[in-house]
Structure 1
């Protein structure tokens, strides 16, 4: 028995749901696919509503925007079955036996399948987001593609004080680890299909770093759970924070130009994140 849960906002979710529905229908199990749109006024909503015509599927538009954490909790709480598969709207199974692969590990409490990038390299200004998936997200655990027991999820939910983008998955998986819940990692990739401009991604990144500061200062996330905070602590130890902030302010326009180019640098993006975080810390 499987509940597939997909939060959505202003996105054409029908291709993903159709693929998942086809896969799960081929298996001898009870299932449901729940898609909740977080109150977007989207041109895709009419198309997405056709999901309700598929057996075992439900597409619902929320009346109010509740944020990335709360909508995941709502989906998990509403789910009918014990096995919960969370996926993001902008992902797509890499394999035709994606669902079957997960179900072969259904005795585990939490299973993470992994995220990978699309094979085709996008043009600027979309390349930065693609490159970040390729160089960073494939190496980390995120909430875009994982299976969890509902009994575990009900006791370990997303932090609903986070209403904006960023780090809600980090604090969620850190909470599981803190509660000694093992996360089994398998190669059951979901392809990240995000078509996002560099400027939009940088804006979201800054919001995420504001969340990180809130989490650490509120003791909701241990400092050693963030590599970025470790670099900040090192810079502070050697009295380099003011230098990093000065360099960040001086180079910011050039960095943004690089991020929008055909050859964006992930190393420069790492510096941008450190510089912005140091700037946030100096304003406290």
Structure 2
């Protein structure tokens, strides 16, 4: 019936697995919970989940990144329906799994959505949380953190050539679009619990911009498919990209200080991404 698949890297997965196991066990359905650790460098005793019935803990010997790790989980899944979750989420509803089971006869690909809530963590996580609260939770289209689908029917996989962070979810959803697979959206959200520092999130943002530039260069994604690259193409067509270099020269330090601070601006974050994408595109052109 149901395979719950969760990739994990440097995160304590035990509370989430225990919560899912408790509910799934009460539903009287065949189920399994599969967790694949992507060669974490921090120890959380995640392997202890194996003591729970119908639960397996897998490990990558070397870091494969999220696309490959998700693919491994999809191949290992023994049941047709897969609930794909990120490690740093937590169900909001007490009937989270049941809500998905009730959808089995209504569609083959379902997205439950996600949300954020303010915390008192302060400066170190302010950027990730601000972006999540103000922008990300309202644009679930390209997020794979909470999906329910019939893998046996659809035979989906992620682009394993994406070997760093960024746009693997976008690529995945474009695959659905190309195959005319309807995405049904229901209200069954998870709470996103990010512990990522501002500095770490900015570093990952740069990585993602490089991935996007490469995907466009390889014609795996069209510039118009992503808001960032669509804007950049418009600027480029009007010979305005030198302005981006000017913004970086004059305001780069101010932008970075703002994004590393207590009250990061989403305008500053958009400019940061535009600069990073511009730099990545120039590097690709040099090769």
TM-score, reference length from structure 1: 0.95
Indicate conservation of the 8 Å contact 2:4/2:82, yes or no: yes
Indicate conservation of the 8 Å contact 2:223/2:233, yes or no: no
**Any residues of structure 2 matched to 1:1-284 within 5 Å, and which?**
1-44=1-44, 47-107=45-105, 108-138=107-137, 139-141=139-141, 142-154=143-155, 156-283=156-283, 284=285
Q: What is the rounded CA distance, in whole Å, between the counterparts of 2:51 and 2:248 in structure 1?
A: 52
Indicate conservation of the 8 Å contact 1:92/1:190, yes or no: yes
Structure 1's unaligned 5+ residue stretches are: none
Deviations 1:237-275 (A, max 9, x none): 322101112212332221111112111111110111112
Q: What is the rounded CA distance, in whole Å, between the counterparts of 2:204 and 2:194 in structure 1?
A: 13
Q: What is the rounded CA distance, in whole Å, between the counterparts of 1:250 and 1:153 in structure 2?
A: 50
**Which secondary structure state, in structure 2, belongs to the residue aligned with residue 128 of structure 1?**
helix
Deviations 1:38-67 (A, max 9, x none): 1113221xx212100101111122212211
Q: What is the rounded CA distance, in whole Å, between the counterparts of 1:230 and 1:224 in structure 2?
A: 5
Q: What is the rounded CA distance, in whole Å, between the counterparts of 1:235 and 1:60 in structure 2?
A: 46
Structure 2's unaligned 5+ residue stretches are: none
Indicate conservation of the 8 Å contact 2:84/2:145, yes or no: yes
**Which secondary structure state, in structure 1, belongs to the residue aligned with residue 87 of structure 2?**
coil
* Cα gap change, 1:168 to 1:40, in 2 (>3 Å): same
Tell me the CA shift for residue 153 of structure 1: 4.5
Q: What is the rounded CA distance, in whole Å, between the counterparts of 2:140 and 2:119 in structure 1?
A: 22
Indicate conservation of the 8 Å contact 2:37/2:59, yes or no: yes
**Which secondary structure state, in structure 1, belongs to the residue aligned with residue 124 of structure 2?**
coil
Tell me the CA shift for residue 3 of structure 1: 0.2
TM-score, reference length from structure 2: 0.94
Q: Which moved more, 1:190-199 or 1:111-120?
A: 111-120
* Cα gap change, 1:282 to 1:121, in 2 (>3 Å): same
- The count of aligned residue pairs is 281
Indicate conservation of the 8 Å contact 1:69/1:159, yes or no: yes
Indicate conservation of the 8 Å contact 1:248/1:276, yes or no: no
**Which secondary structure state, in structure 2, belongs to the residue aligned with residue 208 of structure 1?**
helix
Tell me the CA shift for residue 120 of structure 1: 2.6
Deviations 1:122-149 (A, max 9, x none): 3112111011111222113301110111
Q: What is the rounded CA distance, in whole Å, between the counterparts of 1:235 and 1:211 in structure 2?
A: 20
Tell me the CA shift for residue 167 of structure 1: 0.3
**Which secondary structure state, in structure 2, belongs to the residue aligned with residue 126 of structure 1?**
helix
